[in-house]
Amino acid sequence: MWRINRQDRRHDENGSDDKEVPVTPPALKLSAAEPSPEPVSPAAPDNSSESAPTPQPSLSPEPPESQAPRHAAGHASGGEGLTEVMSAIDSPGRPPLRGFGRIPVHNVHPEVEGGHLPIYSVVDEEFEVTANVFREGHDAVGASVVLTDPEGNRHVTDMHQVEPWGLDIWKAQVCADIEGDWTMHVEGWSDTWGTWHHNADAKLAAAIDVELVCAEGHALMSKAVKHAEQTGDIDALTALREADANLTPDRAPDSLRQVINAYAFCEAMRAYAPRTLTSPTAPTPLRVERRRALYGSWYEFFPRSQGAHIDADGRWVSGTFDSSWERLNAAATMGFDVVYLPPIHPIGTAFRKGKDNTLAPASDDPGSPWAIGSPDGGHDAIHPDLGTFDDFDRFVAHAHDLGLEVALDFALQASPDHPWVLQHPEWFTTRVDGTIAYAENPPKKYQDIYPINFDNDPDGIYQECLRLLELWISHGVTIFRVDNPHTKPVNFWAWLMEQVHRRHPEVIFLAEAFTRPEMMAALAKVGFQQGYSYFTWRTAKWELEAYLDEISHQTSHFYRPNFFVNTPDINPIYLNNGNPAGFAIRAILAATMSPSWGMYSGFEICEHEPLPGREEYAHSEKYEYRPRDYDSDPNITLLVTRLNEIRRAHPALQQLRDTTIHHAPHDDVFVFSKKAGDDVVIVVISLDPVWGVESQIMLDMAALGLDHDDIFAVHDELTGADFTWGQQAFVRLYPAQPAHILHVRKTTP
SS3 of 374-391: the string is ECCECCCCCCCCCCCHHH
Q: Which residues of 665-699 are buried (b: 16+ CB within 10 A; e: fewer)?
A: ebebbbbbbbbbeebbbbbbbbbbbeeebebebeb
Residue 98: the pLDDT is 54
**β-strands 127-133, 154-158: how paired?**
unpaired
Q: Do the annotations mark residue 484 as ligand-binding?
A: yes
Comparing 85-94, 477-486, 583-592, 714-723, the range with the smallest average pLDDT is 85-94
- Contact between 26 and 285 under an 8 Å Cβ cutoff? The reply is yes
Residue 439 main-chain phi, psi, to 5 deg:
-75, 140
* 399 pLDDT more than 90: yes
Contacts of 245 (CB under 8 A, 6+ apart): none
Q: Do the annotations mark residue 149 as ligand-binding?
A: no
For 547-577, give the secondary structure using H, E and C.
Answer: HHHHHHHHCCCCCCEEEECCCCCCCCHHHCC
The model's confidence at residue 646, banded by pLDDT at 50, 70 and 90, is very high
Residue 100: the pLDDT is 78
* 472/470 Cα distance (integer angstroms): 6
pLDDT per residue as tens digits for the range 87-130: 444 455 554 555 678 999 999 999 999 999 999 999 999 999 99
Residues 286-294 have a mean pLDDT of: 98
136 is catalytic: no
Q: Do the annotations mark residue 554 as ligand-binding?
A: no
- Contact between 603 and 568 under an 8 Å Cβ cutoff? The reply is no
Q: Which one of 405, 417, 512, 624 is the catalytic residue?
A: 512
Query: Nearest-5° angle of CA 503, CA 507, CA 511?
Result: 125
Q: Do the annotations mark residue 541 as ligand-binding?
A: no
Strand order in the sheet with 105-109: 105-109, 127-133, 169-174, 160-162
Give counts: helices (H), strands (E), the chain.
15, 32
Strand partners, 520: none
Strand partners, 647: none
- Contact between 564 and 511 under an 8 Å Cβ cutoff? The reply is no
- Contact between 660 and 672 under an 8 Å Cβ cutoff? The reply is yes
Residue 493: the pLDDT is 98
Contacts of 184 (CB under 8 A, 6+ apart): 119, 129, 145, 146, 147, 148, 174, 283, 284, 285, 286
pLDDT per residue as tens digits for the range 30-47: 333 333 333 333 333 333
Q: Do the annotations mark residue 233 as ligand-binding?
A: no
**β-strands 296-300, 596-600: how paired?**
parallel
pLDDT per residue as tens digits for the range 703-731: 999 999 999 999 999 999 999 999 999 99
Closest CA to 549 of 700, 431, 657: 657
pLDDT per residue as tens digits for the range 372-388: 999 999 999 999 999 99
* 633 pLDDT more than 70: yes
Residue 152 main-chain phi, psi, to 5 deg:
90, 5
Q: Which one of 168, 244, 300, 483 is the catalytic residue?
A: 483
Average pLDDT, whole number, for the chain?
89
Q: Ramachandran region of residue 43, left (φ > 0), alpha (ψ -120 to 50) or beta?
A: left
The helix or strand, by DSSP H or E, that contains position 636, with its residue range, turns out to be none
Query: What is the amino acid identity at position 312?
Result: A
pLDDT per residue as tens digits for the range 557-568: 999 999 999 999
Give 25's DSSP letter.
P
Q: Do the annotations mark residue 258 as ligand-binding?
A: no
Query: What is the amino acid identity at position 250?
Result: D
512 is catalytic: yes
- Contact between 475 and 389 under an 8 Å Cβ cutoff? The reply is yes
